Chains A and B, each alone.
Chain A
């Protein structure tokens, strides 16, 4: 039974890692196709993609839209969570449901709805219309994380600050936000990841200034290529470094 467990664990990790390993290994392929046999080690594909202007522009667009849309979603989500956790408002259950609702709707449908609306309103598509879509998908996430993190502890500290004469803005900025910092950072980080990797909204709502996943998608049309492997490996490297840094600095619990 014990042996069987370890065998299962090994098989599971093999399955999880197989495509990733294949992706990374064949990004170093010294040949035209990223499939066996491995013809030797080469960095030519990395050289090629780093010199690819369209790809680098797409990378910049992705980073820009990820940070701006996540920041917006975080601020709005935090303020809304604060309002619903602190002040008794009529219909607050309904309001909470409304703010969470986009989470249960497929990205494709959100994108299609926005596309229809933008078309009818005569708004032309750009990186910013995709950004609007990314705020829609990240706002519920930021709201839910911030709302879940607010407890009585914060409530008392906020009340104390108010009694000492702090304005609501001061309470938010000097008391609530710092006390919720880990949750807010996690929400921001998750939002950035989702936006950075999001394909369908960016695909349907941008026209010329595309993001990285959309650019990778168009690379796929020309078939298998070690260049695509190289891009994928670099994205993987960046994300894994970010996760490791988060793990070290944010989620490490004091022992």
Chain B
């Protein structure tokens, strides 16, 4: 056996555990789910076969399609608001906060990351609920006489999500900003650009990789999340993950749940294709 062949054999040997694990517990389950999505229900029994009915239903049955639309609307809203709020925050930390406090400032900004995800949504309920902090404060000052219905609304879901993803985006945009040389801005101003023109045409485009990377991660995590819409949005309007859980739990309709999951994956893949040009996932 040549040295080269021996080395290859060793390489495959070292790779084998991770590869087999991924094949057995990721690829195979995905294929099983894909196959199941073409099955259908007869009573409570699952009948295997090649039936695209679940997919047709996902796009034609309004109660199913509505969940997809809700999910996309909420996710896009959250992503846009988070980017708009996170950009100035990252810029202030990068440009105004003295260098030696920047790490501390970032660490503090992401501190709530370290609470339990379930508990974080719950604690927004304490803030937004009927007897919550906001309603009590507003009623205490006499601004309103009846409590506002903040919890169990789409607004609550969006607030809960934005709270989480502003932190994430601040990190990716900050990482991008501190790599920018101040010379770009100086060059633009020497060439006669005003502050606004420098910002729009020079600084903003240069932070696009950080923005897009953060926005993509936000999109993926947000659209696939069950916890936040379930706790904060309630059952008033369902998102896709809520509908998937409902199909599985209440009706035991695993084929429909599988089809909806494949749709969810397709949406994420589309989002990936849309921003793959700027994505630097390896730099996260």
Contact = CB atoms under 8 A, between A and B. Distances in A.
Contacts of B89: 8-9, 12
B196 interface: no
A99 interface: yes
Contacts of A116: 29, 32-33, 36, 254, 258
Nearest to A240: B114
A16 B26 contact: no
Nearest to B164: A16
B257 interface: yes
Interface string B89-126: 10011001100000001011101101111111011111
Nearest to A216: B118
B224 A109 contact: yes
B244 interface: yes
B261 interface: yes
Contact of A135 (B8, B21, B124, B129): B21
Interface in B13-53: 13-15, 17-19, 21-22, 25-30, 32-33, 36
A136 B7 CA distance: 27
A232 B22 contact: no
B112 A19 contact: yes
B261 A132 contact: no
Interface in A190-241: 193, 197, 199-200, 212-213, 216-217, 220, 224, 228-229, 231-232, 235-236, 239-240
B264 A109 contact: yes
A5 interface: yes
Contact of A247 (B18, B107, B124): B107
Given A79-B15, A79-B17, A102-B26, A20 B96 contact: no
Contact of B25 (A16, A136, A200, A217): A136
Interface residues of A, number: 83
B11 interface: yes
Contact of B268 (A33, A99, A106, A117): A106
B131 to A, nearest CB: 4
Interface of A: 2, 5-6, 8-9, 12-13, 15-20, 22-23, 26, 33-37, 75-77, 79-80, 82-84, 86-89, 95, 98-110, 112-114, 116-117, 120, 132-133, 135-136, 139, 143-144, 148, 168, 193, 197, 199-200, 212-213, 216-217, 220, 224, 228-229, 231-232, 235-236, 239-240, 242-243, 247
